[in-house]
Structure 1
Amino acid sequence: MNVRRLIPTAALAGAVALGATALTACSGAAAGTGGGDDGKVGVTASFYPMAFLAERIGKDHVKVDSLTKPGVEPHDLEITPRQTGQLGESDVVVYLKGLQPAVDKAVSLSGVKNVVDASTLTELEAHGPSGHDHGAEGHTEGEGEGHDHEHEHGEAGRDPHVWLDPAKYAEIAKGVGAALEKADPDHAADYKKNTDQLVGELTTLDAEFKDGLKNTASRTFITTHSAFGYLAERYGLDQEAISGVDPESEPSPARMKELQGLAKQENVSTVFFETLASDKTARTLAADTGLKTDVLDPLEGITDKSQGADYFEVMRSNLKNLQKALGAK
C-alpha cells in the first residue's frame, strides 16, 4: 500500500508565503500561474482529467497548468513549495477532492476565490473491489459490508474515478464551464459555447459505449485496481479488481484465488493492466489462469505509452479493448 505523505499545515502555510513571494517577482505567464501580461485566465488543475476540461472549455482564453506532470501516478503526488505558491496565484483552481490528499490540503490553504471541486458537481458512490455500489440503491450515505477500508478515498470511502463515466464527466464539465464564466465574464459566451460542444462530444462517446457493449459474451472484466466502477455501472458490466482503488496495493492470496475461480465461472478472457502502475499482479494472475492481458487505461495521465493523445482517443481505445475482451457481437 502506498504511504501518502501530507505536508504539515505549518510547513504548508510557510510554503504558501514563500511560493507567493517568489512568484510575485516574475510575471504570472512566465511562472506558469495567473494570466500575466497576456491577459489569459490562469487555471491550475490537479491532474489530467481536470486539466483536459479546462483546456477544452477555456481554449485560447486560459493558461492551464497541471500539478501532476505526465507519467506521475496522481495518487502519490507530493506538493512542492513552488506548486503551493502557484495555487495561491491562480485565477481558478480545478481539482477533485478525495483523490490527492496533498492537493486537498494545499487548496484549503490557498485562498483562491474561484475553486472548482469536481466531487461536488456529480454524485460520488462507494465502489469496492467488485466495482459495485456498497450502499442503498444507486447512491450511498455510508459504507456497506465488505468495503475495503484500506483503500478508501474521499468522504465515506467514495470512489473518485468519475471521469471514466462520460455522463458524469459531462456534469463536471458544465460546472467547470460555469466557473470560468464567473471568473472571466467578458468571455462567458465562448465558455458556454465550448462547454456545450464538449458535453455534446461526451454524449456521443456515451452512446458509443452503450452501443458497443450492448451485446457481449461476458459481462465481467478483471482489472488491476477498481478505477472502473462508474464505467461498469453505466454500461451494465461487472468490474472485478485485483486490488482496491489504490493501484499499487498488494492483493491477498485469497483474493487472487477468488479471481482465478471467477475467471473460469464468468468466461473471462483478459486481465487488464494500466500504463501508470505496475503490471506485475495482472500478469501473474493471467499466467496462473491462462488468460491474456491488455490495457484498460484509467486516464489519470497521458504519456507516450498511452493508447491515444487525449481523453477521447484513450476512452475509445478502452472501448475497443473491452469489446475484444468481452466478446462483443
Structure 2
Amino acid sequence: MTFRSTSRALAVTTATLFALAGVTACSTDGNPAGADPDRVDVVAGFYPLQFLAERIGGDAVAVTNLARPGAEPHDLELNPRQVGQISEAKLVVFLHGFQPAVDEAVEQNAGDRAFDVATVQPLLDATAGGHDHDHEGEDHAEEHAAGGGSDGAKDPHVWLDPTRLATIGDQLAERLGSVDPERAGEYTARAGALRTELEKLDAEFTEGLKTCQRREIVVSHTAFGYLTQKYQLEQISVTGLSPEDDPSPQRLAEVIREAREHGATTIFFETLVSPKVAETIAREVGAQTAVLDPIEGLSTENGADYLSVMRTNLQTLRTALSCS
C-alpha cells in the first residue's frame, strides 16, 4: 500500500546507517522520553497519532512526534537522531504508506515494537467519498488516485472520521497495556473517555451537516474521503493524495466546470499547501476561499488540538454549504 512515491524513502537509508553507528549518542540528544524511566517512550509518526498517544497514555507516556509541527508530514525525511528514537522507543505508532521514510525506518529498526494504525480497520479507496460523475481521461484517474493502479490507492486520512479514530484509540490502549501491563487499566479508561468525546464530535457533525443546500465540497487534494463518506458529502478534489501535485489543465477545467455546476460558493485549501490553485478556481467561478484543515501537521502552540480543529472545520463546512 503506497500513497506517495517511495523514492523519497531512500533518503532515510543513509540516516539509518549513521543512527545504527551511534544509537547511544542519539538517546541522549533530543530524546526527552529517555530522561524518565518511569514513562513509556512512544514515537508517533505525525500529529493525529501524537494526539491519540498523549490522550490515551496520559502522564504514563512520553510522546515524540517525528513530524515538525506546522510542516507537511508526507515528505518527512528522518535525521539520525530520529532514527535512533525509533530504534529505542518502546512503541512506535505510525500509518504505513503515509510517510515512506518512517515506513523504512520502522521496518529496519522497530520490529515488533511498531503499531500500524492502518491495520486496525480496512482503509478506504482513494476515490471513496468522491463526486459520482463519470470522469473520463487517464490524467484525472491518475490524479484522483495519486498513482494508484486499477486496484486503487488507499486513502490514509482515517482520522477525519471520529468514530474510526476512536476505534484506533481502543486498539492503541490495548497495545500500550501489553507494553506496560501495570497501567493497562488506566490506558483503557482514558481510551474510553476519549471515545466518548469523539462520539460527541461525530454527533455534532451528523446533526450539523444533516440539512444543507449543497453537499459537494471542492478541495485542494483527496484528503477528505472519510469525512465526506461518513457525513454523506461528496468531495471534488483538484489533485490526488499528494497535496503538492500540480493539476493538469484538463483537471483544472473539469473542477471549474463542476464547481459552477453545483453552485459552489467556497473553494477549500489547506494550511500546509499553497492556496494559489484554490484562488484561481475561486476567481473563475466567483467563489471565496476558506481553509479546511486535514489535521496532518497541526501546530499546537495556539492551544488548538484535534477536537477544536475538527469543530472549526464543521463550522466552515456549514457556512460553505449553507446548512440550516
Percent of residue pairs identical: 42
Contact 1:270/1:294 (<8 A) preserved: yes
Which moves more between the two structures, 249-258 or 223-232? 249-258
Query: What SS class does the counterpart of residue 9 from structure 2 fall into?
Result: coil
Quick check: 2:129–2:224 contact (8 Å CA) kept in 1? Answer: no
TM-score (normalizing by structure 2):
0.89
Measure, in 2, the Cα distance between the counterparts of 1:34 and 1:183. 15
Matching residue within 222, 225, 230 for 2:221: 225
Question: How big is the alpha-carbon RMSD for the aligned residues of Structure 1 and Structure 2?
Answer: 2.5
- Read off the aligned partner of 2:146 and give its amino acid letter: H
Residue 112 of structure 1 and its aligned partner are, at CA, apart by 4.4
1:113-124 correspondence runs (5 A)? 113-124=112-123
CA distance in 2, matches of 1:313, 1:302: 11
Q: Report the 3-state secondary structure (helix = DSSP H, G, I; strand = E; otherwise coil) of the residue aligned with 1:157.
A: coil
Kept in 2: contact 1:87–1:112 (CA 8 A): no
Give the Cα–Cα distance (whole angstroms) in 2 for the partners of residues 10 and 222 of structure 1: 38
How far has the Cα of 1:35 moved from its partner? 4.5
Change in 2 beyond 3 A, CA 1:130/1:186? closer
Kept in 2, the 8 Å contact 1:35–1:91? The answer is no
Aligned residue in 1 for 2:82: 83
Q: For the Cα contact (< 8 Å) 2:131–2:216, is it kept in 1?
A: no
Partner of 1:151: 146
Stretches of structure 2 that go unaligned for 5 or more consecutive residues are: 133-139
Deviation at 1:305, TM superposition (A): 9.2
**Cα offset for 1:301?**
1.5
Stretches of structure 1 that go unaligned for 5 or more consecutive residues are 134-144
- 1:42-121 pair list within 5 angstroms: 42-121=41-120
* Structure 2 residue matching 1:128: 3-state secondary structure: coil
Paired residue type of 2:76:
L
Q: Given residue 318 of structure 1, which amino acid in structure 2 is its aligned partner?
A: N
Greater mean alpha carbon deviation, residues 259-268 or residues 70-79? 259-268
Other-structure match for 2:171: 175
**CA offset digits 1:59-106 (Å, max 9, x no partner):** 100000000011210111001111101100101100000101010000
Work out whether 1:316 is the aligned partner of 2:315: no
Cα 1:195–1:288 change in 2 (3 A) is same
- 1:211 paired with 2:214, answer no
Using CA pairs under 8 Å that are at least 6 residues apart, name the structure with larger relative contact order, 1 or 2. 2
Aligned residue among 182, 185, 190 for 2:186? 190
Partner residue of 2:321? 326
Instruction: Select which of 242, 253, 256 maps to 2:238.
Output: 242
User: 1:50 Cα shift?
Assistant: 0.5
For residues 78 and 295 of structure 1, the distance between their equivalents in structure 2, rounded to whole angstroms, comes to 26
Give the 3-state SS of the residue equivalent to 2:114 in structure 1: strand
d(CA) in 2 for partners of 1:130, 1:121: 20
Superposed displacement of residue 151, structure 1: 1.6
Structure 1 residue corresponding to 2:247, chosen from 251, 255, 261: 251
> Matches of residues 26-41 of structure 1 in structure 2 within 5 Å?
26=28, 31-32=30-31, 34-41=33-40
* Other structure's SS at 1:7 match: helix
